[in-house]
Amino acid sequence: MSAYTYFFRDDYSEGCHSNILRALEENALTQQIGYGNDDYTLEARAAIAKLMPAHNADIHFVSGGTQANLVVTAAALKPYQSVISAQTGHINGHEAGAIEATGHRVEIIDTEDGLVTVDQLEPLIAQLGNANSTQPGMVYISNTTELGTVYNKATLSSLSVFCRAQGWYLFLDGARLPAALTAPCNDLTLADIAALTDAFYIGGTKNGGLFGEALVIVHPDLQTGFGYHLKQRGALLAKGRTLGLQFRELFRDNLIFKLASHANATAQTMARGIEQLGYSFLVPPCTNQLFPILPKRIIDGLSEKYLFHTWHQIDEDHAAIRLVTSWATPDAISTQFIADLANLGTEV
């Protein structure tokens, strides 16, 4: 039994939504064809495709985000090509070198807010045609980013135009895409994402699922032979029904977006409380990831009750911590955290 009152370390500490457990149990003995050809997976694909009707996208289901990033990158790039990422990107330093293990270099861009812009990409054009340099072939972005920031339509549109002009694929890591699409600062739809990127995925692991990501392949060239890449990389599950059934439930009655909205709402309640107590943030709060800057004495006090990351050292006496709410975070926990923060601030 954990000694912590609550985990704000991530948004996958809970198991899964009860609708998924119920569906898995009710259909456990129903025989289905394997490898993603079952009825549940077909229903899940249709539900997702309905949200982006103008696009003839291929939809696949894989077990996790690292696997999705690896398979798409390996399928997209030629042996001499690299993928460009923000330094905070999950493929940089968080996936045990999974991308580099495929033989592709990850080229890093420094950003303050986790967002990649055209201005940051333009210097890399100088590498094109130079046989002594790796050739960029794909831009990897996350929405939300690892700092909880969100791409708006104007920024994503400019990235899309730029990448297409260079012949680079634009790939969006959507482990927290439902949180991005339901954030108060968002102006994108799922159909916009499909129109402006070449591939993306919709995270289930961090949005109420037991595990799994819905991988959407938009660009026709990536669609060709993609199933072989899935199989070769161990991403094609014999019991694909376990993924399909989860996403059928998550996209039934927009459940996945309702869960993401709850995660965002509980975080914003906490953000308002933190601001009212006089504390600032590393980046403006918008989604279910918060990065308040606190005195180290306060951080030490909070860490006795709550599990979270100390994200970035500001100075000798202050640091930014990361607080992540989930689809299952109780409203009472948000209120209790603010009360505990307030009490620590009054202690001498």
Mean pLDDT of 226-251: 97
Tokens for 302, please give them: 């909070």
End-to-end CA distance of the chain: 31
Q: pLDDT of 246-260, one tens digit each?
A: 999 999 999 999 999
- Same domain? For 239 and 226 the reply is yes
Same domain, yes or no, for 109 and 196?
yes
Whether 71 is in a domain gets the answer yes
* Residue 226: domain span: 18-250
pLDDT in tens, 121-138: 999 998 888 898 999 999
Residues 172 and 195 in one domain: yes
Whether 1 maps to a domain, the answer reads no
| Residue-wise pLDDT tens digits, 26-57 | 999 999 999 999 999 999 999 999 999 878 99
- The string of pLDDT tens digits covering residues 290-324 is 999 999 999 999 999 999 999 999 999 999 999 99
Same domain, 120 and 147: yes
Mean pLDDT, the chain, rounded, equals: 96
Please tell me whether residues 191 and 143 are part of one structural domain: yes
Report whether 107 contacts 133 (CB < 8 A).
no
Task: Judge whether 295 lies within some domain.
Answer: yes
| CATH code, domain carrying 341 | 3.90.1150.10
Q: Answer yes or no: is pLDDT of 1 > 50.
A: no
| Count of structural domains, the chain | 2
| Same domain, residue pair 206 and 298 | no
Compute the average pLDDT of residues 230-240.
96
Clarify whether residues 230 and 296 are in a common domain: no
Q: At what angle do helices 255-276 and 241-250 cross, to 10 degrees?
A: 60
127 and 267 share a domain?
no
Q: How confident is the model at residue 348 (pLDDT cuts 50, 70, 90)?
A: very low
Residues 325-338: tens digit of each pLDDT: 999 999 999 999 99
| Shared domain check, 245 and 210 | yes
Nearest to 85 by CA among 49, 57, 121: 121
Q: What is the CATH number of the domain that holds 242?
A: 3.40.640.10
Residue 167: inside a domain, yes or no? yes
Q: Is residue 190, in this structure, part of any structural domain at all?
A: yes
With CA atoms as reference, report the closest residue to 190 among 241, 235, 239, 143: 143
Element (H, E) at 180: helix 177-181
Tens digits of per-residue pLDDT, 162-172? 999 999 999 99
pTM of the complete model beyond 0.95? yes
Residue 347 pLDDT > 70? no
Which domain-ending residue is among 182, 216, 250? 250
Domain-embedded: residue 40: yes
Residue that terminates a domain, selected from 185, 216, 250: 250
Do 206 and 101 fall within a single domain?
A: yes
Q: What is the pLDDT of residues 182-194, one digit of tens each?
A: 999 999 999 999 9
Residues 298 and 187 placed together within one structural domain of the fold: no
Domain termination residue (choose one: 209, 227, 250): 250
- Clarify whether residues 55 and 122 are in a common domain: yes
